[in-house]
Amino acid sequence: MTVKIDTVMQTRCFGGTQGVYRHDSAATRCGMRFAVYLPPQARQSRVPVLYWLSGLTCTEENFIIKSGAQRKAAEWGIAIITPDTSPRGLNLPGENESYDFGAGAGFYLDATQAPWSGHYNMYTYITDELFSLAAAHFPIDSSRAGIFGHSMGGHGALTIAVKNPGQYHSVSAFAPICSAMRCPWGIKALGGYLGQHQEAWKEYDAATLIESRGWKNSPILIDQGTEDTYLHTQLQPQFLQEVCARAGVELELRMQDGYDHSYYFIASFMDDHLKFHAKYLMSK
């Protein structure tokens, strides 16, 4: 049975349509919102699709307002789907006490610890539920899908792509958390959602996954600002550099002089990332 979705808003944008939608999620057991940009080419045929995963505190709204991605997506004929970063409105104990855990901080994993395990299943939501829902309701070609994201969402994009190479054919990130097991944000999230047995954490650590599983579908493109406040404490791209070198994974890590962690940084290099994904998705 096809899941019902409700239209929150739709507006014309660069000849295509920017929409926001809502549905009742089986994975998170609550209502979820997501955004879809459909380029003008989607009126004639199914188009390749990119999934954007946002960072801490964000919703689906940040990307569609601030990234400037729609212009080039319209030019290249690529749809962009942007989910929320966590379930919302559940009123779980501690859900709204801090910016880096709970609401707005789902970390794109499937929680195993109560009370989070009943709802905080963003990995399954992204890779299974939303992936199927999007293919059923929109003119996208799910056989030509890529994934990218920022910060916590960069961590999500990398871990999800590496674990699902048959589903995502290209991956990139802006200032990703490169090893969640080795940074304060990740240690807090992984411990809270998965418990203190660190073997389980390896399934959601980008550097560990790349070293153990590799990645051959495309190079990995990463942009990182040199003036990013979180560069050395939370993001730590050196871990990714080291494991990619050992695993024979092609990594293009671009250190962008003077840029910080904001959407001004993301917007500055968004066109490059869309061009990168178009190269691999259009050739499928």
Which residues are catalytically annotated? 151, 228, 261
DSSP 5: E
Separation of alpha carbons 275 and 284, rounded Å:
15
Separation of alpha carbons 157 and 177, rounded Å:
10
Which parts of the chain fold into alpha helices (H)? 60-66, 70-76, 122-124, 131-137, 152-163, 184-194, 206-213, 237-247, 263-281
CA angle at 114 for the pair 109 and 119, rounded to the nearest 5°: 50
CB distance 103 to 86 below 8 Å:
yes
Separation of alpha carbons 3 and 1, rounded Å:
6
Separation of alpha carbons 121 and 252, rounded Å:
30
